[in-house]
Amino acid sequence: MDNFDDLLRRVAAEAARSGRLQPPVAADSLMEAEQRLGFRLHPLLAALYREVGNGGFGPMDSLLSLTPAPASDDEESVVAGYLDRIPPADANTWWSWPKGVLPVLDWGCAMFACVDCLSEDGTVLLFEPNAITDRDVSGAWFVDAGSLAEWLESWLAGRGWYEEGSSDKDFAMPLWPDAASRL
């Protein structure tokens, strides 16, 4: 298990500048969220919510709240966003969402940054629905960063594809190789 203390300190320092930072979630709220989801959050993601804040930081100061923030019932939360995307077991639909992949940041236009909580490193994925073809959702999943730590480091360094001045070649992301097997 990695020690994320230094990274968490640097994220917290940058998050404090955002002006949108929500107070951290309590341990019982984190446990309740994981029970509702049916799996544990990636350890670094859990630490971000417990030690930094319940959203309002990260790229575009827009990490979603794990659970709804008291003052913003309209804002989508990570838990509700995930549960709303999982079709019921008896649904007759081509649509599916991979188990354990949490939408944590809304880029707009239905695109989301997501953390694969079932992967050891917490792979960060980009869900880009415009890439869905012929009812094949697997082509809409791209690897944004090999790990949540790498994704946060890119944000802290101002190197993310979403940063002003990044070129189109910086946006070339590989398809997520596990998409077909996880949908």
What CATH code is carried by the domain that includes residue 93? 3.40.1580.10
pLDDT for residue 26: 97
* Beta carbons of 125 and 141 less than 8 angstroms apart: yes
Q: Can you read off the two tokens belonging to residue 56?
A: 């309002």
Domain region containing 65? 5-182
Return the amino acid letter for 92.
N
Which residues of the chain fall short of a pLDDT of 70? Answer: 1-2, 69-75, 166-171
* Beta carbons of 144 and 155 less than 8 angstroms apart: no
C-alpha to C-alpha distance for 7 and 31, rounded to whole angstroms: 23
- What's the domain count of the chain? 1
C-alpha to C-alpha distance for 154 and 66, rounded to whole angstroms: 22
Burial class (CB in 10 A: 0-12, 13-18, 19+), 127: buried
pLDDT for residue 171: 61
pTM for this one? Answer: 0.92
Q: What is the pLDDT of residues 3-42, one digit of tens each?
A: 899 999 999 999 999 888 899 999 999 999 999 999 999 9
